[in-house]
């Protein structure tokens, strides 16, 4: 079962729930969205056969349900709908920052995609919480790197690489924060 802090679940499962939050869709339609070179298509490439397996899993876990839709001269297709449990799971996932540096490139971008669809304030809140999470990650890396002392070698290079990635991410998050800045009424504040 997927949940907001379940690291074994697939981020693509949450993305499917997010897409179904917009409206019910059939599997081929979801696959087409993920094939485009915009939006979530910039993040994932999912084989259609894998997509149907993920949808079946989400259906077994009661995050989605499917209606069969008959088609003339073609096999019936399933139209997937989000359940209340699925809506709660994806809402929680969207609003929680990424806790692993390696997950930022895919998971955070997907969360930001859906947060922006909620509203600018949700996107701004996600960015603010992600900035705090990145500061914590950076401090943890700094502590581990300092424990190595003056030693050289692979371990030190790994920590320096991770620290460099997080510094770059923090700069990007600063730009996102400026872009998604909103006032008390929820309107964008020009940067």
Q: Are residues 27 and 79 in the same domain?
A: yes
Residue 15 maps to a domain:
yes
Q: Are residues 127 and 163 in the same domain?
A: yes
d(CA 30, CA 16): 8
Tens-binned pLDDT, residue by residue, of the chain (191 aa): 454 434 335 889 999 999 999 999 999 999 999 888 888 888 887 888 899 999 999 999 999 999 998 888 888 889 999 999 999 999 999 999 998 888 888 999 999 999 999 988 999 999 999 999 999 999 998 888 888 777 778 888 888 898 999 999 999 999 999 998 866 566 666 65
The residue segments making up the domain with residue 52 are 11-95
Q: Are residues 21 and 80 in the same domain?
A: yes
d(CA 97, CA 91): 12
pTM score, whole prediction:
0.83
Q: Are residues 16 and 81 in the same domain?
A: yes
Q: Are residues 61 and 125 in the same domain?
A: no
Residue 155 maps to a domain:
yes
Q: Are residues 80 and 136 in the same domain?
A: no
Question: Which CATH number goes with the domain that contains 51?
Answer: 1.10.10.10
Q: Are residues 18 and 88 in the same domain?
A: yes
Q: Are residues 90 and 16 in the same domain?
A: yes
Q: Are residues 88 and 129 in the same domain?
A: no
Q: Count of domains in the chain?
A: 2
């Amino acid at each position: 079962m997927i949940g907001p802090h379940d690291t074994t679940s697939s981020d693509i499962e949450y993305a499917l729930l997010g897409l179904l939050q917009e409206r019910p869709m059939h599997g081929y339609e979801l696959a087409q969205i993920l094939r485009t070179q915009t939006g979530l298509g910039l993040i994932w490439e999912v084989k259609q056969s894998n997509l149907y397996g993920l949808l079946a899993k989400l259906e077994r876990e009661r995050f989605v349900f499917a209606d069969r839709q008959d088609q003339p001269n073609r096999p019936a297709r399933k139209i997937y709908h989000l359940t209340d449990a699925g809506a709660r799971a994806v809402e929680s996932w969207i609003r929680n920052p990424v806790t692993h540096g390696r997950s930022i490139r895919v998971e955070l971008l997907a969360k930001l995609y859906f947060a922006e669809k909620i509203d600018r304030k949700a996107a701004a809140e996600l960015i603010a919480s992600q900035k705090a999470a990145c500061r914590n990650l950076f401090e943890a890396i700094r502590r581990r790197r300092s424990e190595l002392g003056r030693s050289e070698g692979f371990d030190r290079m790994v920590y320096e690489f991770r620290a460099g990635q997080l510094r770059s991410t923090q700069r990007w998050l600063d730009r996102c924060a400026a872009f998604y800045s909103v006032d008390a009424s929820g309107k964008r504040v020009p940067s």
